[in-house]
Amino acid sequence: MATSEQKKFIQQIDANKAGLIDRLAKAVSIPSVSGDAAYRKHCFEMADWLLAELKALGATAELKPLGKQVLDGQEIELPPVILGYLGKDPKKKTILVYGHFDVQPALKSDGWDTEPFKLEYDEKSGRMYGRGSTDDKGPILGWLNAIEAHQQVGLEMPVNLKFCFEGMEESGSVGLDELIVAEKDSFFEGVDAVCISDNYWLGTKKPCLTHGLRGIAYFKLAISGPARDLHSGVFGGVVHEPMTDLFTIMSKLVTAKGEILIPGIKELVAPLTEEESKRYDVMDFSLSDIEGATGSKTTVSDDKATVLMGRMRYPCLSLHGIEGAFSEPGTKTVIPAKVVGKFSLRLVPDMTPDKVNELVTKYVKEEFGKIRSKNTMSITSEHGGKPWLADPNHWNYEAAIKATETIYGVKPDLTREGGSIPVTLTFADTLQKNVLLLPMGRSDDGAHSINEKLDISNYIEGTKLLGLYLHEIAAIK
């Protein structure tokens, strides 16, 4: 139930709908692709524009340079991070909001129906198409829209805000972790909780809050034999073939049903509690959502909760590919000399990359020993990230739940996601504060695909949600 102040804010958002869409159109028109050196200038353009918008709203903000990187063979400046704040009232809570203003690459010729860097509003479907509309310019502007609406109707902001907006999220967030650690006791001092709006509803109908992410442990399994690739006619049947060894070992990591065969992995997984178990039953989700997203009917189970838990709360092991083998079309008859299999596990509490690394390495070495090959094997752990799990009973979540109920009239799903958003873990670990993932868009927005979209209703109601969430924080006793 909205208070009268909240109602004034909500009404103002509705009244200014056209202005908010204009703001998003301006943001989308700047092609701030971080992964292509030719577009780097637009990342700076985007940072300048966003900084100006923040300052126009009264925020104190600055561009933090992150140094240089080598991209496409050139040494170029990294896009800056925008650090800013609005309000320093010691009686109010301070909420750190994170977003990113860079986007994935997009060309009309990739198959887009519209120009990717021109926001196209389709009245019939209520959707706005454009690169960055949902990932992550819409959500960033949601915060700005909410502040603006407060000012337009003469409302005081209920909390102090800090902003951390980066321009390299789509390209590995180079330099961000170091900045957060370096600014821990300066810029980030005094933060009470963190809110990140950079993910999506589980489905397309019901909002959600996300309180967990899986971690990752990535491995390269290298097997080498001959000094050079060999002709299978001449050497087939003569030498131990690295590919045969690799298939033998990698086939022993996981079954076709997805069961991980590495001893000790299962035992690391935190047991399912009754409270958690109940959440999966009420989630806005059906197998057809997966079928729609994957374009196939290949779920590991026909049971909704099993599939959800497969994504959210259990580890998995995927085989990604092989470096060094024949990968082109056609029919080459090669015995590859050195092949590197790539696989990764997604981690959940209480797995850690270190413990998983230890178990995987031991098992792979044992299995390689069993086949008595004369080839040479090495297994290396490439990159690892811990799983993240926040307490959804924290006031940060309580506020978001209440705000969602007011805006959408429904209790949000409490979800965990299967992938990782590394900055989440960095904030949680470095600041030691509760982090909330509060998505604006829907599961079918196509964040990294062609025809990325944001529903107008998600943009407008999502903006209201971000504003009300701040009110609900202030209302927490």
* 198 among annotated binding-site residues: yes
Q: Give me the least distance between CB of 76 and a second copy, in Å please.
A: 20
Residues in the chain: 477
Q: Whose Cβ is closer to a second copy: residue 21's or residue 71's?
A: 71
Q: Whose Cβ is closer to a second copy: residue 102's or residue 241's?
A: 241
The single residue among 218, 285, 363, 388 that binds a second copy, judged by CB under 8 A, is 218
The single residue among 28, 141, 179, 322 that binds a second copy, judged by CB under 8 A, is 322
Q: Give me the least distance between CB of 433 and a second copy, in Å please.
A: 24
Look at the block and give the residue holding tokens 């690394």. Answer: 357
Query: Does residue 52 belong to the site contacting a second copy (CB under 8 A)?
Result: no
The single residue among 1, 18, 70, 227 that binds a second copy, judged by CB under 8 A, is 227
**DSSP SS3 for 248:** helix
* 248 among annotated binding-site residues: no
The single residue among 251, 277, 288, 393 that binds a second copy, judged by CB under 8 A, is 251
Query: Does residue 237 belong to the site contacting a second copy (CB under 8 A)?
Result: yes
Q: Give me the least distance between CB of 311 and a second copy, in Å please.
A: 5
Taking alpha carbons only, the member of 168, 201, 166, 208 closest to residue 81 is 166
Check 102, 136, 284, 461 and give the catalytic one.
Answer: 102
Q: Give me the least distance between CB of 236 and a second copy, in Å please.
A: 4
Active-site residue flag, 398:
no
Check 169, 241, 284, 413 and give the catalytic one.
Answer: 169
Query: Does residue 318 belong to the site contacting a second copy (CB under 8 A)?
Result: yes
76 burial level (CB within 10 Å; 0-12, 13-18, 19+) = middle
Cα 274 to Cα 27, 271, 278, 281, 305, distances in angstroms = 44, 10, 6, 12, 13
- The one-letter code for the residue type at 286 is S
Q: How many residues lie near a second copy (CB under 8 A)?
A: 80
Q: Whose Cβ is closer to a second copy: residue 153's or residue 269's?
A: 269
* 327 among annotated binding-site residues: no
Q: How far apart are CA 205 and CA 443, in angstroms?
A: 9
Q: How far is CA 267 from the centre of its chain?
A: 27
Query: Does residue 373 belong to the site contacting a second copy (CB under 8 A)?
Result: yes
> Which residues in the 255-294 window bind a second copy by CB under 8 A?
255-258, 290, 293-294
Active-site residue flag, 183:
no
Residue pair 399/476 in contact by the 8 Å Cβ criterion = yes
The single residue among 135, 198, 241, 413 that binds a second copy, judged by CB under 8 A, is 241
Residue pair 140/47 in contact by the 8 Å Cβ criterion = no
Residue pair 461/408 in contact by the 8 Å Cβ criterion = yes
> Which residues in the 146-185 window bind a second copy by CB under 8 A?
none
Q: How far apart are CA 4 and CA 471, in angstroms?
A: 12
Q: Can you spell out the DSSP letters for 360-381?
A: HHHHHHHHHHHHT-SSEEEEEE
Structure-token pair, residue 138: 């819409």
Query: Does residue 211 belong to the site contacting a second copy (CB under 8 A)?
Result: no
Q: Binding marks (x or -) toward a second copy, 395..434, rule CB under 8 A?
A: ----------------------xxxx--------------
Taking alpha carbons only, the member of 218, 181, 476 closest to residue 343 is 218
* 420 among annotated binding-site residues: yes
Residue pair 459/440 in contact by the 8 Å Cβ criterion = yes
* 135 among annotated binding-site residues: yes
Residue pair 55/82 in contact by the 8 Å Cβ criterion = no
Query: Does residue 327 belong to the site contacting a second copy (CB under 8 A)?
Result: yes
Query: Does residue 36 belong to the site contacting a second copy (CB under 8 A)?
Result: no
Q: Whose Cβ is closer to a second copy: residue 436's or residue 447's?
A: 447
Longest dimension (CA), the chain: 84
Residues in a beta bridge with 100:
166
* 42 among annotated binding-site residues: no
Residue pair 339/325 in contact by the 8 Å Cβ criterion = yes
Instruction: Kindly state the DSSP code that residue 133 receives in the 8-state scheme.
Output: I
Quick one: CA dihedral 258, 259, 264, 268, positive or negative? Answer: positive
Q: Give me the least distance between CB of 169 and a second copy, in Å please.
A: 15
User: Residues with catalytic annotation?
Assistant: 102, 169
Residue ranges of the binding site for Mn(2+): 100, 135, 170, 198, 448
